[in-house]
Amino acid sequence: MAPASASGEASGSFHSWWKANGSHVYRSHGKRRSERERESEQVPGSSKQPAFSDQPPYHLKAFNLRISFPQEYPFKPPMIKFTTKIYHPNVDENGQICLPIISNENWKPCTKTCQVLEALNVLVNRPNIREPLRMDLADLLTQNPELFRKNAEEFTLRFGVDRPS
């Protein structure tokens, strides 16, 4: 995922993807969905989206996400899960993500889906080793960053999905 700029906008391919697909993901107050979203949903209130980074070690492939909006959205946060395996200290083996912006204690109803995706973008590119879900990967990133990057790149090539064209 491309890094967010100082203005809060994502740059590069993530920004391009968001402009093309953002309205598909965002549901205003949990009531309205675009026609494109209704047609493509496999589960009501959720959406599958690709996420991709322009920075090593995740830049060679994409990762699928499932974004689920609870009935109480925007008063309860969306749930985001990687459905593609990713070698990352803030994502567990089941795809659950430690992303503070969507925790119950930090969630604000005025938070937009694009802000959540931008926070995820930053987290993928800059892991938060203070709040890991996988301590072994956080330790490796801290103690041997080159080996972590090598392992993450190999894992990305093995489990990642082809990037959208």
**Start-end of H helices in the chain:** 12-25, 35-40, 113-125, 135-143, 145-159
Instruction: Please give the structure tokens belonging to residue 19.
Output: 């402009």
Indicate the residue type of 19.
Answer: K
Judging by DSSP bridges, how do beta strands 79-82 and 62-68 pair with one another? antiparallel
Q: What radius of gyration do the chain's Cα atoms show?
A: 16
- Interatomic CA distance for residues 99 and 152, integer angstroms: 19
Instruction: Please give the structure tokens belonging to residue 107.
Output: 């969630």
- Interatomic CA distance for residues 33 and 140, integer angstroms: 42
Active site residues: 98
Ramachandran quadrant class, 2 (left: phi over 0; alpha: psi -120 to 50; beta: rest): beta
